[in-house]
Copies of this chain bind each other. A is one copy, B any other.
């Protein structure tokens, strides 16, 4: 990889609520409380556009956490992400307040049909002038299944098989109007050229979709795809489909290896590894001085998350109900063996706390704040140093920045870190294009239907 990697990609990780991925965020003293008002999202979007971010993208989840104690009570009580608004209305409002910022949303391939997903993102892409992105998730959660009358979610591989077919259908629905299909000639009365608007007549293992889509081809052709698979199948899936790959790497050493392996998989799929961005999630805590940043980090780490909220979220992540345990119970080898997915987390936390006996409280608290990604703390220059080191050493192509609170965490980055990154030449001074694909330097794909016609003529 000797060719120029270009500049860093910066993505803001959003929630359609006042609770960020860090569940103490709503209690942060300067957090904005008006998350049910569209101006809350417009304000954040404008800040990110001021900072020439590539993209803000919204997480989603179609149920409250309810593994802990078998009910959503503790998630509700302590704000462990019980609120998730519908994203398209939020993004329509955000699109209206901005002109360049990419706008991404998480949509599940399990709980939406492909026709809706194709139509929603094609619409958002038009309304925003080419700024939509789709974060593909396959959904694994029992609580979500129960909100949709599905008793058992699909197994891991079946979910990915379904997701592959889903994305294939969605991209062909986006392609179903060729780029020049819309004519709108008032004189002749020809609205569009039926030779250039195609039915799919898709009949697959999971979906039957006739098409065409009721929306002309999106300005980006196909809105970029974001994906966060960490498993073997997930990494292969991301290598095949994703434009932005969202990772959770606890250290730069792990990230370096992950980055190399993921780019290798992209190359094996016959795609250009440079065109696919690998972006670890990271927290930033930025202060006017290092002391301010350290003090903010203390608030973030210790004072705002109720330990029961952390344990409820740990229950959710591990699919294990910890309500029968006390917070000061020691994490035993037996527990580690019996709870799937907890081993990596324990190892990560041990790196921070040393060899001492680990309690559930410590484990849950670290899970709530660490999020298996790096934490960059300091002045603008200090945070930029760390981000630059990750970027230049090829541990990443940029970052998905999580917020300790909204909107202050992003305001701090935009006002103190972004100018430093620009000074170092690792981040854009201004937008040079208007679509998200242009920000990312990605080609605009041709419609598969247009391609096949070219094939016939050649």
Contacts and interface: CB of A to CB of B under 8 A. Distances in A.
A398 B84 CA distance: 37
A27 B194 CA distance: 18
Contact of A42 (B72, B94, B96, B192): B96
B77 A120 contact: no
Max chain B C-beta neighbours (<10 A), residue from A18, A184, A210, A215: A210
B215 A83 contact: yes
A174 interface: no
Number of identical protomers = 2
A78 B191 contact: yes
A272 interface: no
Contacts of A29: 186
A71 interface: yes
Contact of A92 (B89, B192, B209): B89
A40 to B, nearest CB: 9
Contact of A85 (B113, B151, B215): B215
Interface stretch (A140-148, A283-291, A318-326, A346-354): A140-148
Contacts of A61: 214
Contacts of A119: 62, 84-86
A148 B88 CA distance: 20
A76 B192 contact: yes
Interface stretch (A122-130, A253-261, A332-340): A122-130
Interface string A3-29: 000000000000010110000001101
B36 A191 contact: no
A77 B182 CA distance: 9
Given A36-B127, A149-B113, A89 B190 contact: no
A263 B82 CA distance: 41
Interface in A188-246: 189-194, 197, 199, 207-212, 214-216
A64 B177 CA distance: 13
A211 B72 CA distance: 10
B72 A197 contact: yes
A295 to B, nearest CB: 18
A72 B212 CA distance: 8
B194 A77 contact: yes
A127 B16 CA distance: 11
A209 B148 CA distance: 6
Interface size for chain A: under 10, 10 to 19, 20 to 34, or 35 or more residues?
Answer: 35 or more
Contacts of A120: 86, 88-89
A37 B96 CA distance: 10
B89 A192 contact: no
A90 interface: yes
B306 A189 contact: yes
A49 to B, nearest CB: 15
Given A85-B123, A194-B76, A208-B146, A36 B90 contact: no
A79 interface: yes
Contact of A95 (B38, B82, B84): B38
A212 B211 CA distance: 34
Contacts of A92: 38, 88-96
19 contacts: A16-B123, A29-B186, A33-B184, A36-B126, A37-B126, A62-B214, A72-B199, A72-B212, A76-B197, A77-B192, A82-B214, A84-B215, A85-B215, A86-B88, A86-B215, A92-B93, A112-B116, A147-B211, A189-B304
